[in-house]
Amino acid sequence: MNNEAPVTRTAVDRPHPRVSVSGLCFPTATAIESIEAVARLGASTTSLTSGKILDSGAGLVAEAGRRHGVRIGTTTALLRFDLTPGADIDDQLARARTDIDQAVTVGASTVYTLTGRRVLPDWDANVSAYADAAVGVIDYATSKGIRVAVEPTNWLYADLNFVHSFHDALLLGARTGIGVCLDLFHVWTEAELLEDIRKNIEHISHVQISDMTPGIRALPCRDVPGGGDIPLRHIVAEILDAGYEGVFDLELSGPNIDVAGHTEAATTAVAWLSEVLSELGA
Protein backbone atom coordinates (compact mmCIF):
# COMPACT_ATOMS: atom_id res chain seq x y z
CA MET A 1 0.00 0.00 0.00
CA ASN A 2 1.29 3.46 -0.88
CA ASN A 3 1.35 5.66 2.23
CA GLU A 4 2.73 8.75 0.54
CA ALA A 5 1.26 11.93 1.99
CA PRO A 6 -1.06 14.11 -0.11
CA VAL A 7 0.74 16.77 -2.09
CA THR A 8 0.47 20.40 -1.03
CA ARG A 9 -1.77 22.55 -3.23
CA THR A 10 0.24 25.68 -3.89
CA ALA A 11 -0.04 26.68 -7.56
CA VAL A 12 -3.12 28.89 -7.60
CA ASP A 13 -5.74 30.19 -5.21
CA ARG A 14 -8.51 27.60 -5.27
CA PRO A 15 -9.23 26.97 -8.96
CA HIS A 16 -12.85 26.98 -10.08
CA PRO A 17 -14.44 23.60 -9.21
CA ARG A 18 -15.39 23.00 -12.84
CA VAL A 19 -11.79 23.18 -14.03
CA SER A 20 -10.35 19.78 -14.92
CA VAL A 21 -6.75 19.15 -15.97
CA SER A 22 -6.09 16.24 -18.32
CA GLY A 23 -3.26 13.86 -17.65
CA LEU A 24 -2.31 14.52 -21.28
CA CYS A 25 -0.89 17.84 -20.06
CA PHE A 26 1.95 15.80 -18.53
CA PRO A 27 3.07 13.50 -21.36
CA THR A 28 5.93 11.76 -19.56
CA ALA A 29 4.13 11.28 -16.25
CA THR A 30 2.48 8.08 -15.10
CA ALA A 31 -1.20 8.14 -14.18
CA ILE A 32 -0.32 8.51 -10.50
CA GLU A 33 2.24 11.23 -11.19
CA SER A 34 -0.37 13.06 -13.26
CA ILE A 35 -2.80 12.97 -10.34
CA GLU A 36 -0.09 14.42 -8.10
CA ALA A 37 0.62 17.17 -10.64
CA VAL A 38 -3.07 18.04 -10.88
CA ALA A 39 -3.31 18.17 -7.09
CA ARG A 40 -0.38 20.58 -6.92
CA LEU A 41 -2.23 22.85 -9.34
CA GLY A 42 -5.16 22.89 -6.95
CA ALA A 43 -7.59 21.33 -9.42
CA SER A 44 -10.01 18.72 -8.14
CA THR A 45 -10.74 16.80 -11.36
CA THR A 46 -8.66 15.08 -14.02
CA SER A 47 -9.02 12.82 -17.05
CA LEU A 48 -6.63 9.96 -17.78
CA THR A 49 -5.83 7.64 -20.66
CA SER A 50 -6.75 4.00 -20.29
CA GLY A 51 -3.22 2.96 -21.25
CA LYS A 52 -1.62 4.86 -18.39
CA ILE A 53 -4.22 3.54 -15.95
CA LEU A 54 -3.45 0.01 -17.14
CA ASP A 55 0.30 0.58 -16.69
CA SER A 56 -0.09 1.92 -13.13
CA GLY A 57 -2.92 -0.37 -12.05
CA ALA A 58 -6.49 0.86 -11.75
CA GLY A 59 -6.69 0.17 -8.02
CA LEU A 60 -3.55 2.17 -7.27
CA VAL A 61 -4.75 5.00 -9.50
CA ALA A 62 -8.08 5.11 -7.66
CA GLU A 63 -6.22 5.16 -4.33
CA ALA A 64 -4.01 8.03 -5.52
CA GLY A 65 -7.06 10.02 -6.56
CA ARG A 66 -8.63 9.60 -3.14
CA ARG A 67 -5.39 10.38 -1.32
CA HIS A 68 -4.81 13.62 -3.20
CA GLY A 69 -8.44 14.73 -3.44
CA VAL A 70 -8.54 14.50 -7.24
CA ARG A 71 -11.60 12.99 -8.91
CA ILE A 72 -11.03 11.06 -12.13
CA GLY A 73 -14.00 12.29 -14.12
CA THR A 74 -13.35 10.56 -17.40
CA THR A 75 -10.94 8.20 -19.11
CA THR A 76 -10.25 7.15 -22.64
CA ALA A 77 -11.52 3.76 -23.81
CA LEU A 78 -10.47 1.87 -26.92
CA LEU A 79 -13.82 1.42 -28.61
CA ARG A 80 -11.78 1.83 -31.77
CA PHE A 81 -12.38 -1.03 -34.13
CA ASP A 82 -11.16 -2.45 -37.42
CA LEU A 83 -14.35 -2.15 -39.44
CA THR A 84 -13.04 -4.11 -42.41
CA PRO A 85 -15.72 -6.65 -43.38
CA GLY A 86 -14.85 -10.01 -41.83
CA ALA A 87 -12.17 -8.63 -39.50
CA ASP A 88 -11.70 -10.46 -36.20
CA ILE A 89 -12.17 -7.81 -33.51
CA ASP A 90 -12.57 -10.07 -30.49
CA ASP A 91 -9.34 -8.79 -28.91
CA GLN A 92 -10.41 -5.19 -29.54
CA LEU A 93 -13.77 -5.82 -27.91
CA ALA A 94 -12.07 -7.44 -24.91
CA ARG A 95 -9.76 -4.43 -24.51
CA ALA A 96 -12.75 -2.09 -24.70
CA ARG A 97 -14.43 -3.97 -21.85
CA THR A 98 -11.21 -3.82 -19.85
CA ASP A 99 -11.17 -0.06 -20.31
CA ILE A 100 -14.77 0.17 -19.13
CA ASP A 101 -13.93 -1.89 -16.04
CA GLN A 102 -10.96 0.38 -15.32
CA ALA A 103 -13.19 3.44 -15.59
CA VAL A 104 -15.51 1.93 -13.00
CA THR A 105 -12.60 1.13 -10.68
CA VAL A 106 -11.19 4.68 -10.76
CA GLY A 107 -14.64 6.23 -10.31
CA ALA A 108 -15.08 7.82 -13.74
CA SER A 109 -18.58 8.48 -15.04
CA THR A 110 -17.70 8.78 -18.73
CA VAL A 111 -15.23 7.40 -21.26
CA TYR A 112 -14.39 8.80 -24.66
CA THR A 113 -13.06 7.13 -27.78
CA LEU A 114 -12.21 7.40 -31.44
CA THR A 115 -13.95 5.08 -33.88
CA GLY A 116 -11.20 3.55 -35.96
CA ARG A 117 -10.39 4.44 -39.54
CA ARG A 118 -12.93 4.68 -42.34
CA VAL A 119 -12.74 1.49 -44.40
CA LEU A 120 -15.92 1.72 -46.50
CA PRO A 121 -16.47 4.29 -49.27
CA ASP A 122 -19.83 5.42 -47.91
CA TRP A 123 -19.67 7.28 -44.59
CA ASP A 124 -23.06 5.99 -43.49
CA ALA A 125 -21.92 2.42 -44.11
CA ASN A 126 -19.05 3.00 -41.69
CA VAL A 127 -21.54 4.26 -39.11
CA SER A 128 -23.62 1.10 -39.53
CA ALA A 129 -20.53 -1.09 -39.24
CA TYR A 130 -19.42 0.75 -36.12
CA ALA A 131 -22.86 0.52 -34.54
CA ASP A 132 -22.91 -3.23 -35.14
CA ALA A 133 -19.41 -3.68 -33.71
CA ALA A 134 -19.83 -1.44 -30.68
CA VAL A 135 -23.37 -2.21 -29.52
CA GLY A 136 -22.37 -4.90 -27.03
CA VAL A 137 -19.63 -2.79 -25.43
CA ILE A 138 -21.88 0.27 -25.27
CA ASP A 139 -24.56 -1.80 -23.53
CA TYR A 140 -21.89 -3.17 -21.18
CA ALA A 141 -20.76 0.35 -20.30
CA THR A 142 -24.34 1.47 -19.68
CA SER A 143 -24.89 -1.47 -17.35
CA LYS A 144 -21.85 -0.30 -15.37
CA GLY A 145 -23.09 3.29 -15.16
CA ILE A 146 -20.53 4.58 -17.69
CA ARG A 147 -21.47 6.93 -20.51
CA VAL A 148 -19.56 6.41 -23.76
CA ALA A 149 -18.72 9.40 -25.97
CA VAL A 150 -16.94 9.87 -29.28
CA GLU A 151 -14.43 12.64 -29.84
CA PRO A 152 -14.61 14.31 -33.27
CA THR A 153 -11.11 15.05 -34.54
CA ASN A 154 -9.38 16.91 -37.34
CA TRP A 155 -9.25 14.88 -40.58
CA LEU A 156 -5.48 14.51 -40.16
CA TYR A 157 -6.44 11.83 -37.63
CA ALA A 158 -8.31 9.85 -40.30
CA ASP A 159 -6.10 6.82 -39.63
CA LEU A 160 -7.74 6.63 -36.20
CA ASN A 161 -11.20 8.13 -36.63
CA PHE A 162 -13.91 8.75 -39.23
CA VAL A 163 -15.77 11.34 -37.14
CA HIS A 164 -14.38 14.78 -37.96
CA SER A 165 -17.04 17.28 -36.83
CA PHE A 166 -19.52 17.82 -34.03
CA HIS A 167 -22.27 17.29 -36.59
CA ASP A 168 -20.80 13.92 -37.60
CA ALA A 169 -20.54 12.93 -33.94
CA LEU A 170 -24.22 13.70 -33.44
CA LEU A 171 -25.12 11.53 -36.42
CA LEU A 172 -23.09 8.66 -34.98
CA GLY A 173 -24.70 9.20 -31.59
CA ALA A 174 -28.17 9.01 -33.10
CA ARG A 175 -27.34 5.51 -34.38
CA THR A 176 -25.47 4.22 -31.35
CA GLY A 177 -26.70 6.14 -28.31
CA ILE A 178 -23.25 7.46 -27.45
CA GLY A 179 -22.51 11.05 -26.48
CA VAL A 180 -19.90 13.55 -27.63
CA CYS A 181 -16.57 14.53 -26.12
CA LEU A 182 -16.34 18.05 -27.53
CA ASP A 183 -12.72 19.10 -27.98
CA LEU A 184 -12.94 22.75 -29.01
CA PHE A 185 -9.51 22.56 -30.64
CA HIS A 186 -10.97 20.24 -33.28
CA VAL A 187 -14.40 21.78 -33.87
CA TRP A 188 -14.16 25.54 -33.31
CA THR A 189 -14.19 26.46 -37.02
CA GLU A 190 -17.53 24.76 -37.77
CA ALA A 191 -20.07 27.20 -39.20
CA GLU A 192 -22.99 25.78 -37.20
CA LEU A 193 -21.07 24.92 -34.04
CA LEU A 194 -22.94 27.26 -31.69
CA GLU A 195 -26.33 26.32 -33.10
CA ASP A 196 -25.48 22.63 -32.79
CA ILE A 197 -24.39 23.19 -29.19
CA ARG A 198 -27.64 24.97 -28.31
CA LYS A 199 -29.76 22.22 -29.88
CA ASN A 200 -27.78 19.23 -28.61
CA ILE A 201 -26.27 20.18 -25.27
CA GLU A 202 -27.67 17.04 -23.63
CA HIS A 203 -25.43 14.93 -25.87
CA ILE A 204 -22.20 16.60 -24.74
CA SER A 205 -20.65 14.52 -21.98
CA HIS A 206 -17.27 16.22 -21.75
CA VAL A 207 -15.67 19.46 -23.00
CA GLN A 208 -11.95 19.77 -23.69
CA ILE A 209 -10.19 23.14 -23.79
CA SER A 210 -7.02 24.40 -25.45
CA ASP A 211 -6.10 27.20 -27.80
CA MET A 212 -4.46 26.93 -31.23
CA THR A 213 -1.10 28.42 -32.14
CA PRO A 214 -1.57 30.81 -35.09
CA GLY A 215 0.23 29.92 -38.31
CA ILE A 216 1.27 26.40 -37.39
CA ARG A 217 0.69 23.85 -40.17
CA ALA A 218 1.41 20.66 -38.25
CA LEU A 219 -0.11 18.82 -35.32
CA PRO A 220 -0.05 19.11 -32.40
CA CYS A 221 -0.35 22.89 -32.30
CA ARG A 222 -2.29 23.43 -29.11
CA ASP A 223 -1.63 26.51 -27.05
CA VAL A 224 -2.43 27.85 -23.60
CA PRO A 225 -5.97 29.30 -23.55
CA GLY A 226 -5.90 32.97 -24.38
CA GLY A 227 -2.70 32.63 -26.37
CA GLY A 228 -4.10 31.62 -29.74
CA ASP A 229 -6.89 32.10 -32.27
CA ILE A 230 -9.85 30.20 -30.81
CA PRO A 231 -12.65 32.42 -29.35
CA LEU A 232 -12.74 30.22 -26.28
CA ARG A 233 -14.48 32.59 -23.89
CA HIS A 234 -17.35 33.10 -26.32
CA ILE A 235 -17.77 29.38 -26.98
CA VAL A 236 -17.56 28.51 -23.28
CA ALA A 237 -20.25 31.12 -22.58
CA GLU A 238 -22.52 29.54 -25.20
CA ILE A 239 -21.93 26.08 -23.75
CA LEU A 240 -22.84 27.30 -20.27
CA ASP A 241 -25.88 29.20 -21.50
CA ALA A 242 -27.08 26.05 -23.27
CA GLY A 243 -27.13 24.23 -19.93
CA TYR A 244 -23.92 22.20 -19.81
CA GLU A 245 -23.22 21.19 -16.21
CA GLY A 246 -19.95 19.28 -16.53
CA VAL A 247 -16.30 20.19 -16.19
CA PHE A 248 -14.03 21.89 -18.71
CA ASP A 249 -10.97 19.71 -19.20
CA LEU A 250 -7.68 21.39 -20.14
CA GLU A 251 -5.74 19.38 -22.72
CA LEU A 252 -2.41 21.00 -23.63
CA SER A 253 0.26 19.66 -25.99
CA GLY A 254 2.50 20.89 -28.77
CA PRO A 255 5.72 22.84 -29.31
CA ASN A 256 4.50 25.99 -27.54
CA ILE A 257 3.53 23.93 -24.52
CA ASP A 258 6.90 22.17 -24.51
CA VAL A 259 8.72 25.51 -24.64
CA ALA A 260 6.60 27.02 -21.87
CA GLY A 261 6.96 23.91 -19.72
CA HIS A 262 4.14 21.50 -19.02
CA THR A 263 3.56 22.55 -15.41
CA GLU A 264 3.90 26.24 -16.23
CA ALA A 265 1.45 25.98 -19.14
CA ALA A 266 -1.05 24.07 -17.03
CA THR A 267 -0.74 26.60 -14.20
CA THR A 268 -1.45 29.50 -16.56
CA ALA A 269 -4.35 27.64 -18.16
CA VAL A 270 -5.95 26.78 -14.81
CA ALA A 271 -5.82 30.43 -13.76
CA TRP A 272 -7.24 31.62 -17.09
CA LEU A 273 -10.09 29.11 -17.16
CA SER A 274 -10.94 29.69 -13.49
CA GLU A 275 -11.23 33.41 -14.13
CA VAL A 276 -13.41 32.92 -17.21
CA LEU A 277 -15.76 30.48 -15.49
CA SER A 278 -16.09 32.78 -12.49
CA GLU A 279 -16.82 35.79 -14.70
CA LEU A 280 -19.45 33.79 -16.58
CA GLY A 281 -21.16 32.70 -13.38
CA ALA A 282 -20.49 28.99 -13.78
Residue 159: HSE in the Cβ half-sphere, 13 Å Cα cutoff = 1
Q: Is residue 152 part of a domain?
A: yes
Between CA 161 and CA 154 the distance in angstroms is 9
Between CA 103 and CA 92 the distance in angstroms is 17
56, 31 contact by CB (below 8 A): yes
Q: Is residue 196 part of a domain?
A: yes
Q: Is residue 210 part of a domain?
A: yes
Q: Is residue 270 part of a domain?
A: yes
Residue-wise pLDDT tens for the chain (282 aa)? 344 445 444 445 789 999 999 999 999 999 999 999 999 999 999 999 999 999 999 999 999 999 999 999 999 999 999 999 999 999 999 999 999 999 999 999 999 999 999 999 999 999 999 999 999 999 999 999 999 999 999 999 999 999 999 999 999 999 999 999 999 999 999 999 999 999 999 999 999 999 998 888 888 889 999 888 999 999 999 999 999 999 999 999 988 899 999 999 999 999 999 999 999 999
- Distance, CA of 64 to chain centre: 20
Between CA 51 and CA 35 the distance in angstroms is 15
Between CA 252 and CA 268 the distance in angstroms is 11
Q: Which residues contact 68 (CB under 8 A, 6 or more apart)?
A: 6, 7, 35, 36, 38, 39
20, 45 contact by CB (below 8 A): yes
Give the pLDDT confidence score for residue 102 in this predicted structure: 98
235, 208 contact by CB (below 8 A): no
pTM for the model stands at 0.93
Q: Is residue 10 part of a domain?
A: no
Residue 255: HSE in the Cβ half-sphere, 13 Å Cα cutoff = 8
Q: Is residue 13 part of a domain?
A: no
273, 16 contact by CB (below 8 A): yes
- Detail the DSSP E strand segments found in 1-122: 19-22, 45-48, 71-76, 110-113
Q: Is residue 238 part of a domain?
A: yes
Peptide bond into 220 cis (omega under 30): yes
Q: What is the CATH number of the domain that holds 119?
A: 3.20.20.150
Between CA 31 and CA 53 the distance in angstroms is 6
Q: b/e for 123-156, b at 16 or more Cβ within 10 A?
A: eeebbebbbebbeebbebbeeeebbbbbbbbeee
Q: Name the β-bridge partners of 20.
A: 45, 249
Segments forming the whole domain that contains residue 91: 19-279
Give the pLDDT confidence score for residue 2 in this predicted structure: 42
Q: How many structural domains comprise the chain?
A: 1
Q: Is residue 2 part of a domain?
A: no
Give the pLDDT confidence score for residue 218 in this predicted structure: 81
